[in-house]
Amino acid sequence: MNLYNRYNLTPVINARGTFTPLGVSRSSTITAEAAAAALQSFFIITELQQRASEAISAWCGAPAGAVTHCVASAITLSISAVRTGLDPERIATAPNLPQVPNKVVLPAGHAVNYGHEIIQDIHLAGAEAVLAGNENGCESRDLESALDDPQVICLLLVSSRLTRGHGPDFNQAVKLAHARGLPVIIDGAAQDMRVEDLLACGADCVLVSAHKYLASPTAGLIIGKRDMVTATLAQEKGIGRAMKASKEAIIGVLAAIDERLELDIGLWRCEQDHKLKTLADRVGVIAGLTAQTLVDPVGMPFARLAIDVDANGYGRDADELASALRDGTPPIYLMEDRLEEGRLVLELVPLTIGEIDCIGDRLEELADGY
């Protein structure tokens, strides 16, 4: 089925990464077929969640796991779980729990905006964000000061290339929180290929998106200690009702995890390197453009391609080039956060060689004098 023709939609080339406004990722045929089959079937949802927990444990070694609608919902639900535990009255009343402590410590540089402010996820759980340190960094003493407030319920850390400033060291931060009897939640939304590393910090739970590099239907995963996972799922009797995972999402997650367990990571990395070289070679012969690879700043096992634009040599500056690519047919989207430096950044993980060739063609066409 050609959905673009049927529904009058615009085909796009997504070199911007797992970007929600562009649909995040592409599922494999196996995962897509599993999700489609789920749509025509009935299940006991609690049983589906149990199978998901077993699959998540087999994948990354955590005691338990569960599927939520997305990571944004998992942040809200896990914080609410800390506030309510398994108390049915609290769950039914949340987020309006005026007698329950409600402060969540978050390093200031981790107060990211990924389409909306992460602080709003905290507020939806009836909690208040306490920012430790400042945008330049968060030291251990900043965390200790913030964690010593008797109204603090947990520490929230973010693993993302969007964070700002230095620190804190996750291992040290977890120790500081646990020394005060406070649980630690790590938001690692786009870090599904680093779950084991994040769990090794000792956090009570790690939250990752299943629809980014795992490429399932839209879903978030909460992975970690069984009591934390159980209390998060229990929120479906309260505010979590609006954030529950669908049957097709859970089945899609199961299929995607099966595929991840079979993945030859060495071969996969070679494929990603080949994509980078293919486009870098094309860029390298275009006057005014220079290509180099950028390793992922938080340790994901692939690199991105940076294209530096010399406006005098190319005939357009980086901002003009990004706009021209976006306004073309098909539109080509890329990372635009470094345009002021004269740099375009492209993530090629989900792209085919045909799409990469199309990007190369367009860069040549847009060069000065075309």
Would the pLDDT of 167 be above 90? no
Q: What's the pLDDT tens digit per position in 81-104?
A: 999 999 999 999 999 999 999 999
Please report the pLDDT score of residue 115 as a whole number: 86
Q: What's the pLDDT tens digit per position in 255-298?
A: 999 999 999 999 999 999 999 999 999 999 999 999 999 999 88
Would the pLDDT of 200 be above 60? yes
Query: Is the same domain home to 160 and 280?
Result: no
Q: In what order do the strands lie in the sheet with 205-209?
A: 64-68, 220-224, 205-209, 184-187, 152-158, 103-107, 128-132
Query: Within a domain: residue 18?
Result: no
Residue 326: CATH number of its domain: 3.90.1150.180
Our count of domains for the chain comes to 2
Query: Is the same domain home to 294 and 229?
Result: no
CA–CA distance, 305 with 60 (Å, rounded to integer):
29
Residue 157: CATH number of its domain: 3.40.640.10
Domain boundary among 262, 291, 321: 262
How large a percentage of the chain has pLDDT more than 70?
A: 99
Instruction: Tell me which residue range forms the domain holding 67.
Output: 35-262
Mean pLDDT of 313-334: 96
What lies within 8 Å, CB to CB, of 219 at 6+ separation is 67, 68, 69, 70, 209, 210, 211, 245, 249, 250, 252, 253
Query: Is the same domain home to 294 and 316?
Result: yes
Please report the pLDDT score of residue 1 as a whole number: 59
Domain boundary among 203, 236, 262: 262
Domain boundary among 218, 235, 262: 262
Query: Within a domain: residue 24?
Result: no
Query: Is the same domain home to 140 and 223?
Result: yes
Query: Is the same domain home to 235 and 280?
Result: no
Please report the pLDDT score of residue 369 as a whole number: 54
Select from 62, 25, 65, 70 the least CA-distant residue to 48: 65
Mean pLDDT of 120-149: 96
Query: Is the same domain home to 270 and 180?
Result: no
How high does pLDDT run on average in the chain? Answer: 96
Q: What's the pLDDT tens digit per position in 50-67?
A: 999 999 999 999 999 999
Select from 237, 183, 172 the least CA-distant residue to 205: 183
Query: Within a domain: residue 9?
Result: no
